[in-house]
Amino acid sequence: MQYVDFDKTEAFRQLSALCNKEKDFNSLLSPERVKASTVTMGGGLSYSWAAKGVEKAELDVLQALADEQDLTGKYKALLDGEIINTGENRKVLHHLLRGQLGKAVIAEGKDLGKFYAEELERFSIFAELVRAGKIKGATGQDFRTVVQIGIGGSDLGPRALYLALENWAVKEGTGILKAEFISNVDPDDASRIVSSVSLEETLFVLVSKSGTTQETLANELFVKGKLQKRNLDPSKHIVAVTSETSPLAHNPAYLDSFYIDDFIGGRYSSTSAVGGVILSLAFGPEAFKELLAGAHEADKLALKPDILKNAALLDALIGIWERNFLGYPYTAILPYSQALSRFPAHLQQLDMESNGKRVNRDGSPVRYSTGPVAFGEPGTNGQHSFFQLLHQGTDTVPLQFMGFIDSQRGDDVTVDGSVSQAKLKANLAAQIVAFAKGKADSNGNKEFPGGRPSSLIYGKRLTPAALGALLAHFENKVMFQGFAWNLNSFDQEGVQLGKALTKKVLSGNSGDAALDAYSEILEVR
């Protein structure tokens, strides 16, 4: 496989030549275009790119870019177990958690697809037993609450997915174990959660791949202290999710342990035991398996070389067009679904931690912009907040909308002739058109310049399968962008310096007088 810097490609030169023509979104956004510009994503979802400023000319060169950089070929190499994470010398195997699409991946004699499937079965059975009241707490009481202790990818993804399915599960009557999350090293976080649950009825899921995460270990000991104070044996109330080489593995201090390995990156671990244990406990293993099936469907579609049939690839390429040639340094994620309230925070990690890089996969500085700042909040809430800048600010922010035809609970009210779900969707449709077309006005303050590009992901209802496809779509989008930019999207060296300095501060010898001065005003010690 050949890896080439983005600006060395022929497509880069061609795209640079194209980007000076300003688009007229008023003529661009025809009803025919809206109806025709949709790609199937899996999980019952569709990706609509009608309100993006790309036409045949741009799409042709974007296709040429995909071909020249062999983006789907690189994806296949990843699936087959190539060392894609060059910085850490690791395979990248989160797709394999959802099913096999390439060759069997063997490492040190172990079939990893089989290993992941076995772990899935192990924690599915465990979750069933807990949910059936066959595994109980130290006092013999049923578990009614699950609390995940983890940070970063062990928190944001699983939390976003849990919130996304809570209402769905109520409606489906799957029976819910309520989930909470402790992530921050701020002791107020752990203290608040622990004091809000009934410890006798609480199962903790301790998640750290390395078993050495500072925040997670501190919170584990915080929780253990509280359990012991109540005379509850911690080994009856904590399960571990970790790698087999970690100090947490095969440890009788835990009720049970479920394993991942180094080929599952933190921000890509939601479909492993990292997300799977808590989601299976909360909603039942069947719901989690449906999520995996939705993700697998999206992963499969991402193999198609034709960009108009591959939503993740097309989304990635349009993002590159906007980032490198239109110069937009950010992207807003706007789900019209309260269930997805924390999904933007997960995508923020996924995107910014993967492609927020300034060197290529060989460690040489790149000469072009890479990952954008990603942020967002659910609509309609955002409309009453930061949408002002999106509509009438001095800069253009590309927008990623999401919406569903039906609500999750189906519990609605008719006011002024429409149900709330219809109002939600009417707002969504109206925003897309308002951003694209704008409005002329003789009063400058009431004028909308328009030309704000957006895409829309939509589907019938936010189910586990739809959620899995949504998750995988963005994982694959970010992966394709990383390939096009010739980055290693799967390491995170940017976290190391702060970690090292923190240790020095806590050891009392920072070696930096300015750092000591900050430590002094914050009274660290």
Query: Which residues are identified as catalytic?
Result: 353, 384, 499
Out of 39, 41, 94, 155, which residue is the one contacting a second copy (CB under 8 A)? 155
Segment 67-96, which members bind a second copy (CB under 8 A)?
Answer: 87
| Residues sharing a CB contact under 8 Å with residue 441, sequence separation 6 or more, in sequence order | 447, 448
| 3-state SS, residue 134 | coil
Strand partners, 373: 330
| 3-state SS, residue 279 | helix
Segment 341-360, which members bind a second copy (CB under 8 A)?
Answer: 345, 348-349, 352-353, 355-359
| Residues sharing a CB contact under 8 Å with residue 404, sequence separation 6 or more, in sequence order | 336, 337, 458, 459, 460, 461, 462, 466
Cα–chain center distance at 21: 34
Closest listed residue to residue 216, CA positions, set 182, 180, 252: 182
> Can residue 512 be called a binding residue for a second copy (CB under 8 A)?
yes
CB of 108 to a second copy, least distance (A): 26
> Can residue 27 be called a binding residue for a second copy (CB under 8 A)?
no
Residue 523: Cβ-neighbour burial (10 angstroms; 0-12, 13-18, 19+): exposed
> Can residue 523 be called a binding residue for a second copy (CB under 8 A)?
yes
Out of 271, 370, 455, 463, which residue is the one contacting a second copy (CB under 8 A)? 370
How far, in Å, are 143, 218, 402 from residue 159 at the CA level?
Answer: 19, 20, 19
> Can residue 141 be called a binding residue for a second copy (CB under 8 A)?
no
Beta carbon nearer to a second copy, 42 or 335: 335
> Can residue 444 be called a binding residue for a second copy (CB under 8 A)?
yes
Q: Are 309 and 39 in contact (CB under 8 A)?
A: yes
CB of 207 to a second copy, least distance (A): 12
> Can residue 448 be called a binding residue for a second copy (CB under 8 A)?
yes
Q: Are 273 and 288 in contact (CB under 8 A)?
A: no
> Can residue 496 be called a binding residue for a second copy (CB under 8 A)?
yes
The size of the interface with a second copy (CB under 8 A), counted in residues, is 156
Segment 184-213, which members bind a second copy (CB under 8 A)?
Answer: 184-192, 195
Beta carbon nearer to a second copy, 3 or 76: 3
Closest listed residue to residue 290, CA positions, set 154, 446, 453, 468: 468
CB of 422 to a second copy, least distance (A): 6
> Can residue 425 be called a binding residue for a second copy (CB under 8 A)?
yes
CB of 348 to a second copy, least distance (A): 5
| Residue 179 token pair | 């989930």
> Can residue 407 be called a binding residue for a second copy (CB under 8 A)?
yes
> Can residue 417 be called a binding residue for a second copy (CB under 8 A)?
yes
Q: Are 354 and 48 in contact (CB under 8 A)?
A: no
Beta carbon nearer to a second copy, 133 or 363: 363
Interacting span for a second copy (CB under 8 A) from 53-61, 100-108, 112-120, 182-190 = 182-190
Q: Are 302 and 312 in contact (CB under 8 A)?
A: yes
> Can residue 104 be called a binding residue for a second copy (CB under 8 A)?
no
CB of 136 to a second copy, least distance (A): 25
CA angle at 498 for the pair 487 and 267, rounded to the nearest 5°:
45
**What would you report as the CA-atom Rg of the chain, rounded to the nearest whole angstrom?**
24
What does the per-residue mask of binding to a second copy show for 269-308, with x meaning CB under 8 A?
----------------------------------------
Segment 28-57, which members bind a second copy (CB under 8 A)?
Answer: 29-31, 33-35, 38, 46, 48, 50
| Residues sharing a CB contact under 8 Å with residue 398, sequence separation 6 or more, in sequence order | 319, 322, 328, 330, 331, 332, 452, 453, 454
> Can residue 228 be called a binding residue for a second copy (CB under 8 A)?
no
Rama region for 327: left / alpha / beta (φ>0; ψ in -120 to 50; rest): left
DSSP string, 455-475: EEEEES---HHHHHHHHHHHH
Interacting span for a second copy (CB under 8 A) from 60-68, 133-141, 310-318, 367-375 = 367-375
Out of 265, 284, 319, 438, which residue is the one contacting a second copy (CB under 8 A)? 438
Beta carbon nearer to a second copy, 10 or 493: 493
| Residue 19 token pair | 């980007």
DSSP string, 176-212: --EEEEE--SSHHHHHHHHHHS-GGGEEEEEE-SSS-
CB of 24 to a second copy, least distance (A): 13
> Can residue 4 be called a binding residue for a second copy (CB under 8 A)?
no
Q: Are 285 and 132 in contact (CB under 8 A)?
A: no
Interacting span for a second copy (CB under 8 A) from 13-21, 311-319, 428-436, 463-471 = 428-436
CB of 414 to a second copy, least distance (A): 8
- Tell me how far apart the alpha carbons of residues 154 and 278 are, in angstroms, rounded to a whole number: 11
Segment 465-494, which members bind a second copy (CB under 8 A)?
Answer: 488, 491-494
CB of 145 to a second copy, least distance (A): 14
For residue 107, the surrounding DSSP H or E stretch is strand 106-107
